[in-house]
Amino acid sequence: MGRLFGTDGVRGVANRELTPQLAFRLGRAGAWVLGKNKERPCVLIGKDTRASGDMLEDALSAGVLSMGGDVVKAGVLPTPAVAYLVRHWKADAGAVISASHNPYEYNGIKFFNGEGYKLDDAIEEEIEAIVLGEKEPGEPAEGGGLGRCRDAAEAAAEEYIAYLKETAGVRLDGMKLAADCANGAASLVAPRLFRELGAELTVLSAAPDGVNINRDCGSTHPEALQRAVREQGAALGLAFDGDADRLMAVDETGEIVDGDKMICICAGKLKRDGRLPGNRVTATVMSNLGFHKAVEAMGCTVDVTQVGDRYVLESMRKTGSAIGGEQSGHIIFLEHSTTGDGMLSALQLLAAVKEGGGSLKALADPITIYPQVLKNAAVRNENKKKYAEHPGIVRAMAAMEEAMAGEGRILIRPSGTEPLVRVMLEGSDIHKITGLAEELAALITRELG
C-alpha cells in the first residue's frame, strides 16, 4: 500500500499522527484530484462520534474550500451512508472521518469517488504525492472562487433511512430485536430504522460522548448484546462497529453468528429468489472451510480474494457476484450498495430469518464452522515470502494437508509490518491442528529465521 493510505484510508492517533494540518492537505489534494475538470467540485463529508471528528472535519473542509470546492457536511453518519449519498446527491466525491472499530483516540480519513466506490490505488497515490509535496495541485482559489459549506445532517439521515427501508423487502412488526450501536455512527440511524419498520427494539450503546465509541460494545465486544438477547427473549441481536459498515449477529440463544454464516444464509435466500447471478459467492482467503462446504452444498461456487473488502468488491465487479464479504461482518450486497453496510446487511439477514420461520439459530446451526489456530513464525524480514519456495517447508505442508484428508487446510500469510509469517491451520480436530500449526511455525522459524 501507499505511504499514507492503508487498506482503508489514512489512519492514526488524532492530533498526533492524523493532525489538522494533514487533514487540510488531504482535503486540498482530494478536492483537486477528485474534482478535476469541475469548476466547483462538491465533496460530501460524514463522520463517526469520536471527539476528534469535529477538528478533522473542519480541517478537511478547509482544504476542500481552499481549492474552490464546496462541502456538504452530512454529520454523524455511517460510512456506507456517505457512499450512497455521494451517488444520490450527485456529489463529486465523499469523505468519511472514522477509524471504524479502533479505540476513540484513533481516527481516519477515507475517500469515495463520485460513484460511491473507494479509490483505486493510482488515485490514492496521486493524492499522496500532492500531500507529501512531490506534486503540485492547481492554484488555490481566491475571493469569490473560494468554496462554500452547508450543513445537511438532518436531510442526510432522512435520505439514508428512506433508502434502507426501500431495500428491506420486509416489515418487522412484532419482531423483538436488540441492537448494539457501539456508541458510534449507528446510534442515531439504527434505532429509527428498525422501529420505523415495526420492530420491538432494545437499544444498547447508543449514547456517544466522544470517547466511548467501541468501548466494551459493538461488533468486537458483543457480550452485553448476548446477555440482552437472552434476558429480553429477543429473536436475535445485531451488533455494529464504530462506523456501521460491519455487522455481527447473535441468535436467540445468545450464540454469535459471524460474517461467514450470515453470507451463507443471505446467499441462500438470494439463490431462492433468483437473484444470485452465476450462483457465485465472493469471500477472502480467511473464510472458514465450513463456509466453503456450506456454499458448495447449496450448489454455488466461491470466488476467493485477498483479505480486505476492497478486494472483495473488485472481484465482485469483475464477476457479477451479488454477495461477498468477510468473517468480520463486512458484507457487500452489490445490487444495493458499493461498500459494506451493517444495517443493510441486518435487513437482508432479517428477511432471510423471517422467510425461514423466525429462528436465526435454525438457519445458522447447520453451517459448521471449523476451529482455527494461528501461530506466528519469527523470520528475517527479507525471508517473509520465501516459504513457498523452500523445499522442506513445501513438503511439510503437503504432508499436513494429506494428513487432514480434506477436513482441514493451511493458510500462510507474511505480516505486512513485522518480521513474522502467520501460520493458520483450520480443521475439525482442534488438538490435531494446534500441534500441526506449532510444528509448521517452528520449522519456518528454523529455516528462515
| pLDDT by 10s per residue, the chain, length 449 | 358 888 788 999 999 999 999 999 999 999 999 998 888 999 999 999 999 999 999 999 999 999 999 999 999 999 999 999 999 999 999 999 999 999 999 999 999 999 999 999 899 999 999 999 999 888 899 999 999 999 999 999 999 999 999 999 899 999 999 999 999 999 999 999 999 999 999 999 999 999 999 999 999 999 999 999 999 999 999 999 999 999 999 999 999 999 999 999 999 999 999 999 999 999 998 899 999 999 999 999 999 998 888 899 999 999 999 999 999 999 999 999 999 999 999 999 999 999 999 899 999 999 999 999 999 999 998 998 899 999 999 999 999 989 888 788 999 988 876 889 999 999 988 999 999 999 999 999 999 98
Return the pLDDT at 1.
Answer: 39
- Phi, psi values for residue 443, rounded to 5°: -65, -45
**How far is it, in rounded angstroms, from Cα 385 to Cα 389?**
8
**How far is it, in rounded angstroms, from Cα 330 to Cα 8?**
13
Cα distances (angstroms) measured from residue 109 to each of 52, 60, 100, 386, 425: 12, 9, 10, 34, 34
What nine digits make up the cell of 298? 447449496
**How far is it, in rounded angstroms, from Cα 138 to Cα 279?**
47
100 is known as an active-site residue: yes
Q: Which pTM value belongs to this model?
A: 0.91
**How far is it, in rounded angstroms, from Cα 93 to Cα 71?**
10
**How far is it, in rounded angstroms, from Cα 64 to Cα 72?**
11
Cβ neighbours of 278 (radius 10 Å): 12
**How far is it, in rounded angstroms, from Cα 70 to Cα 403?**
62
| Cβ within 8 Å of residue 273, ≥6 positions away | none
**From 52, 98, 100, 328, active-site residue:** 100
Return the pLDDT at 415.
Answer: 82
Cβ neighbours of 277 (radius 10 Å): 13
